Amino acid sequence: MSQMEQKPEFWINGILLSSTIMAGLIGNLSCFLFLHKHKGTLSFHVTFSNLLKWLCLIDSLFLISSFFTFSLSELSELYRLWMYPYAIPVLLPVTSILLNISMYCVACLTIERYLTICKPNHMNKGSFQGYVLPVVVFSIIFNLPKFFELKTIYVNDGSGTSAEMPFSIPTKLRKSAEYSYYTIGAGFLLLGVAPLLTVGIMNGLVLREGRRQITPSSLSITPSQRISKFREESFNPFLLISGIILMGICHLPRHTFSMYELYLVTMAEELAFPYPWLVDVSHLSLVLCSCLNIFVFILQERLFREKLELSCIKYLFCCNIYSQTRRNVETPVSGNPDSYYRINLAQLDRDAESHSELSASLLNKLESV
């Protein structure tokens, strides 16, 4: 085992984080395709559905940026030594911008859901100009100073030649106490408290409205009946509360380390953490939040839940058929070492006949949903 593989950072950032990023990209892409394919049959109205697509896109970009910022440097020594020092001064602020956009997109979705249920006259006013564009502009302006936090220098590699290796180091701006007070204080209020309070208050108002009146279910999803369908599906206490808990837990480590950094700056100590792998756990929690954000909202849709359930049933059913077929095919032949396997065609025919009816019914149900 190499020296890199012995570090906790390799297993957290290199293996666990990259695996989570891959799963999150698959999940966000699947949800985006589902929203696009069934856009005319869902209970979501146009603005809410488009906001969900924007959330899939932003979270996917954040996951890709996180891979190049945190994971690839642990997997590739070439990237870590020669490319990472050039990329990190730009990758880090870009990742922060995408994270902030993702957080406020979640807040925008809760606001739009509240307007749809409690203030229908103010809903469905557009996703890009009403929500996404202001959030993008705010996130870029707020994180603009982060582009000046790191710089790349060149240091002799010590081999006795004139070869120099690139390194990224903090700038004077990054080390100043005033800048730390600004970034940590403003970040805690605008990127921690404000989104979490928005999600909590909006979901609380939706829950209160749900206790007052629940519109009966409607089988048709025509535009005139879509609001009532949306109202019925929105009154799910588990999904509403889970959105608050997910954001709070996943962003808690980041703000905890920010407060610890503020303490180090106040005490005029060096900006160093005794256990660097804890910072990697914070990155993992943020990536996990971006993987699960879309599911907190799209699970509200009954059609998606049915599709997901039937897909799981189909997968388990196919696995069961495969395991039974493999046991029948790989039958040992006693007394004949030259032909250890033989095909039990009669048993295979019986299995196919017994499973064909159930398989056809499942496939028909999948196509009809």
Q: What is the pLDDT of residues 204-219, one digit of tens each?
A: 888 887 666 554 444 3
Torsion of CA 312, 313, 319, 324, to 10 degrees: 170
Assign a CATH topology to domain 4-157+174-300: Rhopdopsin 7-helix transmembrane proteins (1.20.1070)
Question: pLDDT tens for residues 20-38?
Answer: 999 999 999 998 988 888 8
- Per the CB < 8 A criterion, the answer to whether 92 and 69 are in contact is yes
What integer pLDDT is reported at residue 53 of this predicted model? 92
For the chain, the structural domain boundaries read 4-157+174-300, 312-368
Beta bridge partners of 156: 164
> 95 is written with which tokens?
């990742």
Question: What counts of helices (H) and strands (E) characterise the chain?
Answer: 15, 4
> Stretch 56-67: mean pLDDT, rounded?
95
What is the C-alpha R_g of the chain? 26
Q: Look at residue 38 in the predicted model and tell me its pLDDT.
A: 80
The confidence band for 223, taking pLDDT boundaries of 50, 70 and 90, is: very low
Q: What pLDDT is recorded for position 213?
A: 56
pLDDT surpassing 90 at residue 167: no
> 245-286: per-residue pLDDT in tens?
888 888 888 878 777 777 776 776 565 666 677 788 888 999
Of the candidate ranges 58-72, 281-295, 296-310, 346-360, the one whose mean pLDDT is the lowest:
346-360
Six-digit token pair at 312? 């799981």
pLDDT of residue 61: 96
Give SS3 for 332.
Answer: strand
At 334 the three-state DSSP class reads coil
pTM value?
A: 0.77
The pLDDT of residue 342 is 44
E strand or H helix at 169: strand 164-170
Structure tokens given for 295: 């599911």
Question: Between vectors from CA 81 to CA 80 and to CA 85, what angle results, nearest 5°?
Answer: 80
Longest dimension (CA), the chain: 84
